[in-house]
Amino acid sequence: MNVILDFIAALGRAALNLVRTAGALALFGLAGLSHLVRPPFYWRIFLGSLVEIGFFSLPVVALTALFSGGVIALQSYTGFAQYHVQSAIAGIVVLSVTRELGPVLAGLMVAGRVGAAMAAEIGTMRVTDQVDALTTLSTNPVKYLVTPRLLAGTLALPFLVLVADILGVLGGFTVSVVKLDFSAPAYIAATLATVKPIDITVGLAKAAVFGFLIALMGCYHGYHSRGGAEGVGAATTSAVVGASILLLAFDYLLTDVFFSQ
């Protein structure tokens, strides 16, 4: 009986912690956003973060998209050849990449690369008193550390996803034409006939949401890290895991909102 009660109590504690964390995260995000309309705005930090996220993530996002597009083409061909509908491959590639794989894979890559870096940087600043030092130097730490990163994440990820869309389609095109003997003009025509502006715009909108969530999780866990190097390590892990789960959950929600009949 005690074992059952302990189990239920543990479940209850976990549920309460989840609700508490969700509330704290929402308040933290709102605090960060509220400084967008309350000057000053730290442009130097914003531009640095924009370059860090948007430019230095380009190689990893580009390679991921390129290979993913190629893999979709290969896998689709294997299945579709049985039913003689290989002509659908171009459409499958472009829709998969623009609607889902571009935003999700770019988001997961950036979460691993940038979310972790943000959590580690701000976490180190927290445990070495640099965050407190900001306060003593007439600088609001949330305004200085969080707000520019939230905006940079929100703006940079759509750009990365646009690049991922192009390279993902290029990967599928290359595999289809070079390896599977598709006609290049026919593949391009099929791609253009299938994709609609909403497929791309919804993908970019998803990317903006994902970019915000990644920056939010990185900043939140870094800002609240405690206990030296171990605490910073834990904050980094939490930021990446939390951002990845939130990203996939919001992907489902946004897909349901935009594409379900």
Partner 1 sequence: MTDATPKIRIRGLTKSFGPKRVLDGIDLDVMPGTSCVVIGGSGSGKSVLLRCILGLIAPDSGSIEIDGVDILTLPPRRREGAIEKIGMLFQNGALFDSLSVWENVAFGLMAAGRRHGARMARAEARAHAGQVLEQVGLDPSVGALYPSELSGGMQKRVGLARAIASQPDILFFDEPTTGLDPIMGAVIDGLIVDCVRRLGSTAIAITHDMASAQRIGDRAAMLYQGKLIWQGAASALLDSGNPMVDQFTHGRREGPISMELRR
Interface segment toward partner 1; rule CB under 8 A; list 8-16, 67-75, 77-85, 136-144: 136-144
Residues 248 and 97: their CA atoms lie apart, in Å, by 15
Residues 129 and 20: their CA atoms lie apart, in Å, by 25
| Shortest Å, Cβ 31 to partner 1 | 13
135 binds partner 1 (CB under 8 A): yes
Which tokens in the block code for residue 235? 């904050």
Interface segment toward partner 1; rule CB under 8 A; list 127-135, 147-155, 158-166, 179-187: 127-135
Nearer to partner 1, 43 or 55 (CB): 43
The residue from 97, 125, 209, 246 that contacts partner 1 (CB under 8 A) is 125
| Residues 195 and 95 sit within 8 Å (Cβ to Cβ) | yes
53 binds partner 1 (CB under 8 A): no
| Shortest Å, Cβ 7 to partner 1 | 26
Complete DSSP assignment for 220-232: HHHHT--SHHHHH
The residue from 28, 42, 182, 187 that contacts partner 1 (CB under 8 A) is 42
Question: 37: burial class by Cβ within 10 Å (0-12, 13-18, 19+)?
Answer: exposed
Count residues binding partner 1 (CB under 8 A): 18
34 binds partner 1 (CB under 8 A): no
46 binds partner 1 (CB under 8 A): no
Residues 90 and 183: their CA atoms lie apart, in Å, by 11
Residues 143-182 that bind partner 1 (CB under 8 A): 143
Q: Determine the 3-state secondary structure of 40 from DSSP.
A: coil
| Shortest Å, Cβ 143 to partner 1 | 8
Residue that is written with structure tokens 């939010």 in the block: 216
| Shortest Å, Cβ 5 to partner 1 | 25
Nearer to partner 1, 92 or 127 (CB): 127
Please give the single-letter amino acid code of residue 106.
Answer: A
139 binds partner 1 (CB under 8 A): yes
Helices of type H across the chain: 2-34, 43-50, 58-80, 89-95, 102-110, 116-127, 130-136, 141, 147-174, 184-194, 197-223, 228-259
Which residues sit at the interface with partner 1, rule CB under 8 A? 39-40, 42, 121, 124-125, 128-130, 132-133, 135-140, 143
